[in-house]
């Protein structure tokens, strides 16, 4: 039973995603469908890319990830599908898949991109504004049911790449950024926890506040306390125990997080 | 594998829809279940009817659409199921299925309505306030698993019909109405794009603002610009590129949209 | 086809639940997955416990209910699974399953609790902050696919028990509490409808307002009217017909609801 995931900025209220599931059910009724999120802020490709990138590695080989955050729908932007390692992605070629492509490249895995230009695998009538329904859902369903990637379109090698925020090493430690604000108000950064390895004397500055040291998990401090820890994907996170760091700090996506190593260790 | 869709005003927070899925899983575990929306405004039958009507045609033959927006639950309003062409609907007889029934009638397809009065296909105990769980979910599951429509109840021919807003032709062009405001703030109207066919010199007036001409898709204009286009279901839509027309215009469901043909073309 | 339900406070926006579904799809691809709710208020174990308890009885025998409202994640709180009657639960041992355990005990059904201490059935790498993904999703998937409960960990008999609010009999009638405020703004209490049985002359006081008598369903009174009825789970509920009692009364979870029997009947 193949698994198809769907990630969009379509929200839950209008039935757009349900319609895509109807299309999938027609073509590949045995597919299991898992929603990743449909609450990507409208047209926010980076947030969609990060949400998909965090979830996809936990899906089985053969999974097909349909992602639609698509401000360029109906223009010349390419519709695409790709094999990345043992999984597939389908959506607009606008950078949504950049983090997954980079991970596959780093791991030396297959990266095959195809421009979806074979209308045999689309709905018969294609609208100008809802390619999620008319192109990406049917193509994803055909992929999940075994149609080979190459028959869906023409190979290409230059997918659009997002510039991803990246933590930078500096004299004091690292300059990181808030990359995800989750439903709990936890603030994930782009600094891999590995960059802190072995360090004890760490100060974190963000939004005019300061956090000392790294804890193991939320429950190790009192409710309401501001803490830093390594999150479930392995990145530095700032949180309020049983509360919202986002609210407490008024934090926004992209804001700088300074990670300052103690004197003893800065030059290690 | 049969597909069951669910459309309600139950929201996502209370577990009402999950409970319905438990009931379905007991009766027809092989059914695939697709949520259309559970964010229909409370008791808003027209919005629920339109959401279901936009999604249903994309589902496979044999699909069963359970829809529950049911202010009359526990009173004399009939619970119903119907075959409409090759699909089925299940829910209260209050107009929720009017657009689908009208489409089936126009297309000369089967329209068989049945009043659900055979309690063999309900849960053993039926509450007064949650027929979605106690009647509609089990009936939908039995239908999906092959129980014939006629065994579920008694045939009737006069389902309640909603009065649907409809665009009207006038001397200048058309008087249309906002029929859907989607998550992006796009404003769909009840004017079929076909009514504009071939016309170039079109002015659209709504909420004290004016839009000139029709574009192909959002991406053909600058972000922030107010545009008119034909939407993915084939109706006239007013949108703000990468923004919200609903917010910009303070638009509300049902408001009038005047479509004015240019002088040269008004009498064509 | 086994059914797995998921109940969390993870919201819909971050992809946490989708990630859990990817994990399940890897281990037990034939499972049907039903979301109960992901909008439990953050860390609100009682609300999560009540949502799961209201939905679970409607699921088929063999169902596995994964529930994650887990303020103690990463600390010493035990991860647990249990067989309760013919169903299974998986999640943190913090009281989330108290109402289901109490119902199974009352019904004389199997109650077998197991501390999840066999890492063979977890993901290879376990984070400190996302046991929903790393422990509970894989354990639930293995259970659904037939791994026996005992192989997942070590038996224990003292699961953490929540103190549940409970209506109390008094001289006038009952002192009940608001236990659920649903999406419609209906106020469910902890008073079983059976406690009212046969009584007609009942006055209900809450939030400085008074309701006389019990109606059968919403549709029996005019829109806007404040009414009391027995809800779909069999508990006393206060509602506004086609409106929100929560808004009208400014009601909050846990508030007292006095149920006063009339003079004639108080001593029956």
Binary contact (B219, A19; C-beta < 8 A) = no
On the question of pLDDT at A266 being above 50, the answer is no
Tokens of B234: 């084939």
Q: What is the DSSP string of C91-121?
A: EESSSTTHHHHHHHHHTT--EEEEE---GGG
H-helix segments, chain B: 16-27, 45-55, 98-106, 131, 137-144, 245-249
Secondary structure class of C212 (helix, strand, coil): strand
Binary contact (C77, A37; C-beta < 8 A) = no
Q: What percent of chain C has pLDDT over 70?
A: 97
Substitution target from B50, B54, B55 for chain A, most A beta carbons within 10 A? B55
**Nearest by CB: B22 against C5, C219, C230:** C5
If we measure between CA atoms, which residue out of A23, A155, A29, A10 comes closest to residue A81? Answer: A155
Per-residue pLDDT of A1-40, as tens digits, reads: 899 999 999 999 999 999 999 999 999 999 999 999 999 9
Substitution target from B8, B10, B18, B136 for chain C, most C beta carbons within 10 A? B18
Burial A134-168 (b: 16+ CB within 10 A, else e): bbbbbbbbbbbbebebeebbeeeeebbebebbebe
Binary contact (C183, B18; C-beta < 8 A) = no
Task: Summarize the confidence of residues A81-87 as an average pLDDT.
Answer: 98
Binary contact (A220, C74; C-beta < 8 A) = yes
Tokens of B215: 């574009």
- What was the pLDDT predicted at C266? 46
- Which residues of chain B does C246 touch, with a Cβ-Cβ cutoff of 8 Å? none
Substitution target from B232, B240, B242, B243 for chain A, most A beta carbons within 10 A? B232
What is the overall mean pLDDT for chain B?
94
Binary contact (C34, B43; C-beta < 8 A) = no
Task: Summarize the confidence of residues A163-183 as an average pLDDT.
Answer: 94
- What was the pLDDT predicted at C23? 98
Secondary structure class of A63 (helix, strand, coil): coil
**Residue A262 pLDDT grade (very low, low, confident, very high; cuts 50, 70, 90):** confident
CB atoms within 10 A of CB B127: 18
- What was the pLDDT predicted at C264? 57
Per-residue pLDDT of B225-254, as tens digits, reads: 999 999 999 999 999 999 999 999 999 999
**Residue B264 pLDDT grade (very low, low, confident, very high; cuts 50, 70, 90):** low
Substitution target from C14, C68, C77 for chain A, most A beta carbons within 10 A? C14
Binary contact (C18, A34; C-beta < 8 A) = yes
**Residue B199 pLDDT grade (very low, low, confident, very high; cuts 50, 70, 90):** confident
Per-residue pLDDT of B9-54, as tens digits, reads: 999 999 999 999 999 999 999 999 999 999 999 999 999 999 999 9
Tokens of B65: 């659409």
On the question of pLDDT at C262 being above 60, the answer is yes
Rounded to 5°, angle at Cα B137 from C19 and C67: 30
Q: What is the DSSP string of A205-243?
A: EETTEEEES--SSGGGS-TT-EEEEE-TTSEEEEEETTS
Please indicate whether residue A199 or residue A46 has the higher confidence score (pLDDT). Answer: A46
Q: Is the ipTM of this complex over 0.90?
A: yes
- What was the pLDDT predicted at A74? 79
- Which residues of chain B does C56 touch, with a Cβ-Cβ cutoff of 8 Å? 22
**Residue C253 pLDDT grade (very low, low, confident, very high; cuts 50, 70, 90):** very high
Tokens of C14: 């971050």
**Residue C36 pLDDT grade (very low, low, confident, very high; cuts 50, 70, 90):** very high
Q: Is B148 on the interface with C (CB under 8 A)?
A: no
- Which residues of chain A does B216 touch, with a Cβ-Cβ cutoff of 8 Å? 74, 128
- Which residues of chain B does A21 touch, with a Cβ-Cβ cutoff of 8 Å? 3, 5, 34-35
Distance from the first to the final alpha carbon of chain A:
51
Per-residue pLDDT of B151-167, as tens digits, reads: 999 999 999 999 998 99
For C30, nearest residue in chain B (alpha carbons): B30
Q: Is A34 on the interface with C (CB under 8 A)?
A: yes
On the question of pLDDT at C265 being above 60, the answer is no
- What was the pLDDT predicted at C268? 47
On the question of pLDDT at A91 being above 80, the answer is yes
**Nearest by CB: C133 against A37, A216, A232:** A232
Binary contact (C217, B74; C-beta < 8 A) = yes
H-helix segments, C213-256: 245-249
Please indicate whether residue A73 or residue C189 has the higher confidence score (pLDDT). Answer: C189
- Which residues of chain C does A34 touch, with a Cβ-Cβ cutoff of 8 Å? 18, 21-22, 25, 33
- Which residues of chain B does C36 touch, with a Cβ-Cβ cutoff of 8 Å? 15, 18-19
Across chain A, the runs of DSSP E, i.e. the strands, are 3-8, 32-37, 64-68, 79-84, 87-92, 111-115, 154-156, 168-169, 173-181, 187-192, 202-206, 209-212, 226-230, 235-240, 256-261
- Which residues of chain B does A26 touch, with a Cβ-Cβ cutoff of 8 Å? 58-60
- What was the pLDDT predicted at A29? 94
CA atoms of B253 and B18, how far apart (whole Å): 30
Report CA dihedral (C171, C172, C178, C182) to the nearest 10 degrees: 140
- What was the pLDDT predicted at A264? 57
Per-residue pLDDT of C38-53, as tens digits, reads: 999 999 999 999 999 9
- What was the pLDDT predicted at A268? 47
Substitution target from A10, A18, A41, A92 for chain B, most B beta carbons within 10 A? A18
Sign of CA dihedral C249, C253, C255, C260: positive
- Which residues of chain C does A1 touch, with a Cβ-Cβ cutoff of 8 Å? 25, 29-30
Q: What percent of chain A has pLDDT over 70?
A: 97
- What was the pLDDT predicted at C191? 96
Task: Summarize the confidence of residues C133-152 as an average pLDDT.
Answer: 98
**Residue B219 pLDDT grade (very low, low, confident, very high; cuts 50, 70, 90):** confident
Q: Residue C256 to residues A44, C185, C200: CA-CA distances in angstroms?
A: 45, 16, 21
Per-residue pLDDT of C73-106, as tens digits, reads: 878 899 999 999 999 999 999 999 999 999 999 9
Residues C256/C177, Cβ–Cβ less than 8 Å: yes
Looking at chain C from residue 176 to 235, which residues have their Cβ under 8 Å from any Cβ of chain A?
Answer: none
Per-residue pLDDT of B90-107, as tens digits, reads: 999 999 999 999 999 999
Q: Is B12 on the interface with C (CB under 8 A)?
A: yes
Q: Is A12 on the interface with B (CB under 8 A)?
A: yes
Sign of CA dihedral C53, C55, C58, C61: negative
Highest-pLDDT range among A190-204, B183-197, C108-122: C108-122
What is the overall mean pLDDT for chain C?
94
If we measure between CA atoms, which residue out of A94, A95, A151 comes closest to residue A122? Answer: A151
Per-residue pLDDT of A186-223, as tens digits, reads: 999 999 999 987 687 899 999 999 999 998 888 778 88
- Which residues of chain C does B43 touch, with a Cβ-Cβ cutoff of 8 Å? 242
């Amino acid at each position: 039973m193949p698994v198809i995931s769907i990630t969009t900025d379509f929200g839950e209220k209008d039935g757009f995603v349900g319609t895509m599931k109807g299309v999938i059910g027609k073509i590949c009724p045995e597919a299991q469908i898992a929603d990743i999120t449909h609450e990507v802020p409208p047209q926010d490709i980076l947030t969609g890319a990060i949400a998909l990138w965090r979830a996809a590695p936990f899906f089985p080989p053969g999974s097909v990830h349909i992602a639609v955050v698509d401000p360029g729908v109906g223009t010349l932007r390419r519709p695409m599908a790709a094999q990345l390692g043992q999984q597939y992605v389908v959506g607009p070629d606008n950078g949504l898949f950049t983090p997954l492509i980079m991970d596959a490249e780093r791991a030396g895995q297959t990266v095959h991109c195809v421009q979806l230009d074979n209308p045999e695998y689309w709905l018969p009538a294609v609208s100008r504004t809802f390619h999620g329904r008319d192109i990406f859902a049917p193509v994803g369903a055909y992929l999940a049911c075994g149609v080979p990637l190459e028959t869906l379109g023409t190979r290409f090698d230059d997918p659009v790449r997002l510039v991803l925020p990246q933590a930078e090493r500096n004299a004091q430690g690292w300059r990181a950024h808030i990359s995800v604000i989750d439903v709990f108000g936890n603030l994930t950064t782009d600094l891999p926890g590995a960059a802190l390895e072995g360090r004890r004397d760490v100060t974190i500055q963000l939004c005019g506040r300061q956090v000392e040291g790294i804890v193991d998990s939320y429950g190790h401090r009192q409710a309401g306390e501001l803490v830093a820890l390594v999150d479930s994907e392995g990145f530095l996170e700032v949180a309020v125990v049983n509360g919202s760091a986002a609210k407490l700090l008024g934090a926004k996506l992209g804001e700088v997080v300074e990670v300052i190593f103690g004197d003893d260790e800065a030059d290690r």
